[in-house]
Structure 1
């Protein structure tokens, strides 16, 4: 993957990789959604939300993108220009596995408008069509019904339940394991 070569557009969104010099938009998103996302994420160190840490995260994500290890995407709403959602296709593995993990979040002010589905649909097509991966895995907390509905709508199938899978918000939590297979691979 090359820097700057990936831009997707939908009716309401422009989806692309955030460049390191654009870290302030990511920082604003993280700070504004700190409380909203806390129940679904690991505990964050006190300095996680500082500008310096955000800059370092964006620079690392961009380097990983250039190395082909992940595809960290953000979605900007056309009307406002606001960063409204993000998705990361991480741990991209080639060879016989040809798979990755999907994580995502949406700004609390934009929930319930179908934007996450609108963002992820073309991104998944890009992963299968352009990157030719065979499998995308996504996991969610059993009580996260929004994620359950979203992943089902996107065509993900449940593959299992992992006990104490991730330490979320300070506690080991079970996760429902989901996957979507490429329609292009056999």
Structure 2
């Protein structure tokens, strides 16, 4: 029995190592962004659970097992494949030490060729909201998009009633480009969204301009 337990533990450790997403580390504006790792699970699940009522009005409906370790492992596998293909760049948001989780930010739906565009999405834990972490992460992530990925345009959206998210985008230099009716299914219902776009020259104070 003890031998079986050791084999199971070794297999789980190997799976953790295999599913650890490796990728760029982005620093700036007092924040650190890096791809999620298996070892982040406990901190991530705790923050998401404590922020459930705060986040759910602005997000797609959560699956029943969304915060389970198995679902998190599947998430890491998807992240690794998306980064390998260059289709998305998921990051966890940490303070400058890289130890204290604040939320997550993702560049997804990367389109190359004549578009050179990606979609930006993010969330911040309720206990650390309103402290500038989202704005810092957006600025750092869009700088990475323009300088390292050489993208031409970043798109984002938010519900018209999500004033905090709208202010984050505006402070980072995004321009309001209009209203899209029934744009995304949020918390089980199709919802209108404000659409925003960012070009390198629009970024506040040139923070994300290519060098």
Identify whether the pair has TM-score above 0.5, normalized to the shorter chain. Answer: yes
| 2:68 corresponds to 1:50 | yes
Partner of 1:96: 114
Instruction: Specify every segment of 5 or more residues in structure 1 that has no aligned partner in the other structure, as ranges.
Output: none
Alpha-carbon distance in structure 1 between the residues aligned to 2:29 and 2:145: 20
Partner of 1:15: 33
Alpha-carbon distance in structure 2 between the residues aligned to 1:80 and 1:127: 20
Instruction: Specify every segment of 5 or more residues in structure 2 that has no aligned partner in the other structure, as ranges.
Output: 1-20, 202-208
Partner of 2:183: 165
Alpha-carbon distance in structure 2 between the residues aligned to 1:182 and 1:11: 17
TM-score scaled by structure 1? 0.89
Contact 1:135–1:180 at 8 Å: present in 2 too?
A: yes
Partner of 2:127: 109
Contact 2:57–2:187 at 8 Å: present in 1 too?
A: yes
TM-score scaled by structure 2? 0.79
Alpha-carbon distance in structure 2 between the residues aligned to 1:181 and 1:106: 24
Task: Count residues in correspondence.
Answer: 183
CA RMSD of aligned residues (A): 2.0
Give the number of the structure whose residues are more often helix, by fraction: 2
Give the number of the structure whose residues are more often strand, by fraction: 1
Alpha-carbon distance in structure 2 between the residues aligned to 1:166 and 1:90: 15
Instruction: Find the structure with the greater CA-based Rg.
Output: 2
Contact 1:33–1:108 at 8 Å: present in 2 too?
A: yes
Partner of 1:130: 148
Shift in alpha-carbon separation, 1:5–1:43, aligned structure 2, 3 A = closer
TM superposition shift of 1:51: 1.4
TM superposition shift of 1:9: 2.3
